[in-house]
Amino acid sequence: MYALTNCTIYTTQAILIDHAVVIEGQQISAIIPINALTNDIDRIDLQGQNLTPGFIDLQLNGCGGVMFNGAVTEQTLATMQAANLKSGTTSYLPTFITDTDQGIKKALHVTREYMQKKPNEVLGLHLEGPYINVQKKGIHRQEFIRQPDPEMIDLICANSDVVSQITMAPEKTPNQFIEQLANAGIVVSLGHSNGTYQQATEAIQHGASSATHLFNAMTSITGREPGVVGAIYDNNIYAGIIVDGFHVAYENVRLSKRIMGDKLILVTDATAPAGADISEFDFVGTTVYYKQGKCVGKDGTLGGSAVTLIESIEQCVKFVGISLEEAIRMATIYPAKAISVDNKLGSIEVGKIANLAIFNNDYQVTGTVVNGCYKATE
């Protein structure tokens, strides 16, 4: 048992000062006024920094110099977790983009093995594709994009304890499959879609409850056709948004926040350069170049991002005009609710798993707590 003291605590429900968070084993056991702490409890003095729930990233292709599609191994997931901790992300969905059926099966196996050994770090797999629209493929390999196959949909549903989210184009996916996946407890997310407002709305009515990287690789609002973006706005579903200054204009982040409220979630869509010093990397057979914070293929196509969640929070505050308290929620409790893990993660509450982030007023992460274990950032 130990206590985290001398900090500003953002619980997601309140901002507390002169309080301590007491951790016992893996859980938060108490949140009490500092003067109620007994002298026999070990203390970690956070020197006036911010204490928040650990950030949760629902879309992470890679970081720390590695890509999950590039090396589908438990070591890759461990490397990503270690890199995440340097920027306050304590839990994430490794994202496996469009690949063969065999590739998907391997990703399922590796993710399951890792999750069984390391609880509350990898929260499940995000399958981004392969059931998407070639016209909005982005960096995805065209030869692997295909129609949903009933046998594979059955397999994915049978692994719903491992698959947390799947990104699909509604115009390419029969509603029966969307319904089947949603009924299995998998978050069906609209993305890489050239669909109409009507097609997206029908998918939502059949169980789609989220959208992948809002504005990117999807039809947007025009005067006569609201597109997928309009359907997201109009149907009160969750959507991840990449706030790196490249993927979405800050003004559009602000407009979306005003419309969507607590359904707008910060995601990174990060790739190998996040938390690493590299200038290029392979993304499913395409060389992606990292220059001045931007990841692009030779043709200029965006190939993921190199942003972290702490940087996303900072940019929301500085350039979008969102309060720090709300930006923290966008990286913690809202993603936890979107994938139904808010019963144990996403906020600082008694009884929840002690996954926490510590950062100073310059948005430098100085430490994390994962499953109750405190670690200073190196």
Task: Give the CA radius of gyration of the chain.
Answer: 20
Q: With H, G, I as helix, E, B as strand and everything else as coil, classify residue 223.
A: coil
Q: What are phi and psi of 14, to 5 degrees?
A: -155, 165
Per-position b or e across 201-225, b if 16+ CB within 10 A of its CB: bbbbebbbbbbbbbbbbbbeeeeee
> Distance between CA atoms of 176 and 164, rounded to whole angstroms?
19
Question: Of the residues 57, 99, 244, 269, which is catalytic?
Answer: 269
> Closest Cα to residue 335, out of 68, 60, 111?
60
Strand bridging mode 125-128 / 89-97: parallel
Is the bond leading into 130 cis (omega within 30 degrees of zero)? yes
Could you give the CA distance from residue 14 to residue 317 in angstroms, rounded to a whole number?
A: 18
The answer to whether 149 is a known catalytic residue is no
Q: Say what angle helices 150-158 and 175-183 make with each other, to 10 degrees.
A: 10
Catalytic residues, by residue number, are 269
